[in-house]
Chains A and B, each alone.
Chain A
Amino acid sequence: MRLHADRESCISGGRCMATLPEVFDQDDEGIVVLLTPTPAPEHQAKARKAAYLCPARAIDITESPTPD
């Protein structure tokens, strides 16, 4: 799984950080900061959930054909 977070479209609601703080953070301006583009296997379900919850559709997930 590969993650991308678009800081341009982020509206800083913090849903991602509330869901998976190990992967999503916010900078001083409240804008999303991706801590790693390749979440550990145990974090992937929550990463999908964060992408679903993101109101601005700012989180993009590319699923790898083979599990990583």
Chain B
Amino acid sequence: MLSYPQDRTCPYQPSPGYRELGRSGPLHKVRLWDGSTIWMVTGHAAGRRLLADPRLSADRSRPDFPVVLPRFEAPIFKPIAIIGFDPPVHDVHRRMLAPDFSLKHVREMRDEVVELTGRLVDDMLRKGPPAELVEDFALPIPSMVISQLLGVPYEDHVFFEEKTVGLLQAKDAAGAEAAGQALWDYLDELISAKERTPGGGEGVLGRLAGRIDDRDLTREDLLRIALALLIGGHDTTSQMIALGVVTLLEHPDQLAAWRAAPPEALPAAVDELLRMVSVTDVSGVRVATEDIEIDGEVVRAGEGVLVSSSMTNRDPEVYEDPYTFDIHRAAGRGGAASGRQHLTFGFGIHQCLGQNLARMELEVAFSTLFDRIPGLRLATPAGELPARSGGTMQGVHRLPVEW
């Protein structure tokens, strides 16, 4: 039985072990670090069906919820807000946040993101090559955007970025808990300050601090929501920017096609990049609350399910030449089966709250970068980049570039 997880050997393709597995059907049992087994879903249709099935629970506090990696044993992860709750609590909290993350609100934020991205490139050009693209570009964009949206002072970014990586990349539960606790204490103090401010103070957290009612939103709920949004808001997007740049630079024909594409073709191109990179590698983890029959298999009550985004995004039933990166996929090949139905943001009621924000940041980031620095190239060969290992969340520690 394949053990899970397996490291990628290419920054933008799923690990060879998963590719092998995917050839033998849509559902597979794989073995986790603690010896337990979990269903890994590699088929697109099965993944969609399962993630939309109310018989699967996302409740991290259930004793039978699968612990995919040792760090997820940390108590801080057990009641993680929104993503780790089932209805009705999930729906109540998600609705409170929906206005701030809606397509319309995100479109209003775009000009500011264009400006801030331009300033980062100005700084890179002023300093001259080489540059370290994670620290100089990929991380500050989502980090500034989420801190402003939430009302978290960006001056504290080194602290919350470091602790987020500490939490998400910890080798064990104790490491994750320590980093998570530091973030918790920080947000606790910040929310207290907002509570003292008439009208709640700035950002989404300020708005919600004024809505704490001990029923739909307790103070602890808000702290958990703040933690989830701060973590969810910058690490995923920054690594998607970094790996997206690598993917484009490794496909000069596609980079040329990106440059030649009219603005209205860029959203589909961003979605094709999201499909290829599948930066979280996973669309969702759940536990079955009843027996579920699917594709000739039975997922028993109490068994864990993990839907692979990198593999469902390469299901040959849905995508022609699934391993090929083609930014015009939506217009041509596959027709209705365009790149946009990828499961990179998940599916079902937990589909990513920040997806519109992430898409906008990505489009602005790639366009600005390749527009302003047309000669950009990797200073380290793609295969030798210091990549994250042993986890689900993909990424590089550093991305040296020159021009």
Contact = CB atoms under 8 A, between A and B. Distances in A.
Interface string A10-36: 011110011100000010111100000
Interface in A25-54: 26, 28-31, 45, 48-49, 52-53
Interface size range on A against B: 20 to 34
Contacts of B104: 26, 30
Interface in B320-336: 336
B346 A55 contact: yes
B102 interface: yes
A57 interface: yes
A29 B99 contact: yes
Contact of B102 (A12, A53, A56, A57): A12
Contacts of A30: 98-99, 101-102, 104-105
Given A18-B103, A29-B95, A57 B336 contact: no
Interface of chain A: mostly helix, strand, loop or mixed: loop
A17 to B, nearest CB: 6
A28 B103 CA distance: 11
Interface residues of B, number: 26
Nearest to B355: A13
Contact of B103 (A26, A48, A55, A57): A26
Contact of A31 (B98, B105, B352): B98
B340 interface: yes
B349 interface: yes
Interface string B333-349: 00010001100011111
Contact of A12 (B52, B98, B346): B98
B52 A17 contact: no
A44 to B, nearest CB: 12
A11 B103 contact: no
Interface of chain B: mostly helix, strand, loop or mixed: helix
A55 B105 CA distance: 20
Interface in B44-96: 51-52, 91, 94-95
B69 to A, nearest CB: 25
B254 interface: no
A13 B102 CA distance: 7
Nearest to A26: B102
Q: Which of A11, A29, A31 has the most CB of B within 10 A?
A: A11
Contacts, number: 57
13 contacts: A12-B94, A12-B102, A13-B345, A13-B351, A18-B103, A18-B267, A30-B101, A30-B105, A45-B336, A52-B336, A53-B341, A55-B347, A56-B348
A53 B271 CA distance: 13
A12 B101 contact: yes
B289 interface: no
B15 interface: no
Interface in B6-30: none
Interface string B369-396: 0000000000000000000000000000
Contacts of B351: 11, 13, 55-56
A8 B18 CA distance: 38
Contacts of B348: 55-56
B103 A29 contact: no
Nearest to A29: B99
B181 interface: no
A10 B289 CA distance: 23
Contacts of A28: 99
A63 to B, nearest CB: 15
Interface string B286-300: 000000000000000
Contact of B349 (A11, A19, A31): A11
Contacts of A31: 98
